[in-house]
């Protein structure tokens, strides 16, 4: 693997660890690679982070042929830098690419390049508890052409953003709106790909949720609008009658890496766990019978996000008196302890930078 490095002449000022927020601060450099038909992926390079100008006819601006990933780099108390399950993110990027007719990248090389890039930017990784460096690999179509077809050229890029602790003031259970009027994805569509189109499709219902005092949307299946799918940037879990339940992957749900980690951990802990089809009506019925003890979302940003309230039509479900449940709490602690090196990684999830 050959990687060309051009360093920035002047480095930016580092932000204060206590005030990072999410996704608005970026590091000094970017990682880039181009694809041209006939030549394949080439010109892997690190450059000073700067705007990249493209003609307004560039395909991605018109038809949205693009995929992305989201993962994090952590600094341990001993100063070690580590990535959580990066191989799974790169493999998923390639799976998403296949759904959108984007050429795949070499996974081994991509991990090596990513590791080298993060090593170069390591001073940007914050050290306060709960903070990390968010990593955003992306591929966009770059042909300057208005005809509809898959592009013949692409740009792979990675940008890095130091992010604050998601729970700096303790767990905040979220309020979730179950939409009856909109769907995010359908079987045979793009639901299982991490692609901007799914986010564009989620905005209208997202605003509707906010107008009604809710923060996120829980999506039902796109065909019958009966089966629970996911939250749109998080997968969803329930603890029903002591069993950990999450919707079965059905090609319109994004296969979350945190989801997979939660399934593996709870199974190891000897809990009953199942991935199955579950309807929104079944969930409300279980709740009315006092069987739903916890609801939580899973995703890279928050790891575990407890849900305190769900609204579906004129029914409202309150879960756990605004407190975080024991399963969610234990999962959050275990996953973050593995990430920050407080406990041993027995799963091979950590890559040291
Ligand atoms: C990224 C994402 C998730 C969460 O996946 P993780 O790998 O756990 O971060 C869930 N749903 C959608 C639609 C996503 O894009």
0.95 exceeded by the pTM?
Answer: yes
202 lines ligand 1 (CB under 6 A): no
Q: Whose CA is nearest to atom 5 of ligand 1?
A: 256
| 273-276 vs 243-247, strand pairing mode | parallel
Number of domains, the chain: 2
Question: Would you list the DSSP string of 15-76?
Answer: PPGGG--SSS---SEEEEEEEETTTEEEEEEEEE-------TTBHHHHH--EEE--EEEEE-
CB burial of residue 282 (10 Å; 0-12, 13-18, 19+): middle
How many helical (H) and strand (E) elements, i.e. helices and strands, does the chain have? 7, 18
3-class DSSP state of 309: strand
Longest dimension (CA), the chain: 64
Q: Ligand 1 pocket, 137 CB below 6 A?
A: no
Task: Supply the CATH number for residue 30's domain.
Answer: 3.30.470.10
CB-CB contact of 211 with 219 (8 Å):
no
User: Ligand 1: distance of its center to the CA of 295 in Å?
Assistant: 17
Give the model confidence (pLDDT) of 272-318 as tens digits: 999 999 999 999 999 999 999 999 999 999 999 999 999 999 999 99
pLDDT digits (tens, 9 = 90+) for 202-230: 999 999 999 999 999 999 999 999 999 99
- Calculate how far, in angstroms, residue 255's C-alpha sits from the geometric centre of ligand 1: 7
State in Å: Cα 302 to ligand 1 middle: 11
The ligand 1 atom nearest the CA atom of 92: 7
| Domain co-membership, 133 together with 251 | no
Helix (H) or strand (E) holding 230: strand 228-230
Nearest CA to ligand 1 atom 12: 233
How far apart are the C-alpha atoms of 350 and 135, rounded to whole Å?
15
Q: Which of 113, 144, 164 is the last residue of a domain?
A: 164
Residue 344 lies in a domain: no
Provide the domain limits for residue 326: 174-339
Q: List all residues 6 or more positions away from 258 whose beta carbon is below 8 Å from its beta carbon.
A: 234, 235, 298, 299, 300, 303, 304, 335
The burial class, CB within 10 Å (0-12 / 13-18 / 19+), for 207 is exposed
Per-residue confidence band for 19, with pLDDT thresholds at 50, 70 and 90: confident
Average pLDDT, the chain: 96
pLDDT, tens digit (0-9, with 9 covering 90-100), for 162-193: 999 887 777 889 999 999 999 999 988 999 99
Asked if residue 193 and residue 52 are part of one domain, the reply reads no
């Amino acid at each position: 693997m050959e990687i060309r490095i051009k360093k920035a002449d002047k480095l930016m000022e580092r932000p204060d660890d206590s005030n990072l927020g999410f996704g608005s601060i970026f590091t000094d450099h970017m990682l880039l690679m181009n694809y041209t038909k006939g030549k394949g992926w080439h010109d892997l390079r690190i450059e000073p982070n700067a705007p990249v100008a493209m003609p307004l006819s560039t395909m991605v601006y018109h038809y949205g042929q693009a995929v992305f990933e989201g993962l994090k780099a952590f600094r341990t108390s001993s100063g070690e830098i580590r990535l959580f399950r990066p191989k799974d993110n790169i493999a998923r990027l390639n799976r998403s690419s296949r759904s959108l007719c984007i050429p795949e990248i070499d996974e081994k090389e991509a991990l090596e390049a990513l590791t080298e890039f993060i090593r170069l930017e390591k001073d940007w990784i914050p050290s306060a508890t709960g903070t990390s460096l968010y990593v955003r690999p992306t591929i966009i179509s770059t042909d300057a052409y208005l005809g509809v077809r898959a592009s013949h050229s692409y740009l792979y890029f990675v940008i890095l953003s130091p992010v604050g602790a998601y729970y700096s003031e303790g767990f905040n259970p979220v309020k979730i709106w179950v939409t009856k009027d909109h769907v995010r994805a359908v079987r045979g569509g793009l639901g299982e790909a991490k692609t901007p189109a799914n986010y564009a499709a989620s905005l209208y219902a997202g605003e509707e949720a906010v107008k009604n005092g809710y923060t996120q949307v829980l999506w039902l299946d796109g065909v019958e609008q009966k089966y629970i799918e996911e939250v749109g940037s998080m997968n969803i879990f329930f603890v029903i009658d002591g069993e950990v339940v999450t919707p079965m992957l059905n090609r319109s749900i994004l296969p979350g890496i945190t989801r997979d980690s939660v399934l593996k951990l709870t199974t190891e802990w000897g809990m009953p766990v199942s991935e199955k089809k579950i309807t929104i009506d079944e969930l409300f019925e279980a709740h009315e019978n006092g069987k739903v003890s916890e609801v939580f979302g899973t995703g890279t940003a928050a790891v575990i996000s407890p849900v305190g309230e769900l609204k579906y039509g004129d029914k409202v479900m309150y879960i756990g008196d605004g407190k975080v449940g024991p399963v969610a709490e234990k999962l959050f602690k275990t996953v973050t302890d593995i990430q920050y090196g407080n406990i041993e990684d027995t799963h091979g999830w950590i890559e040291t930078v």
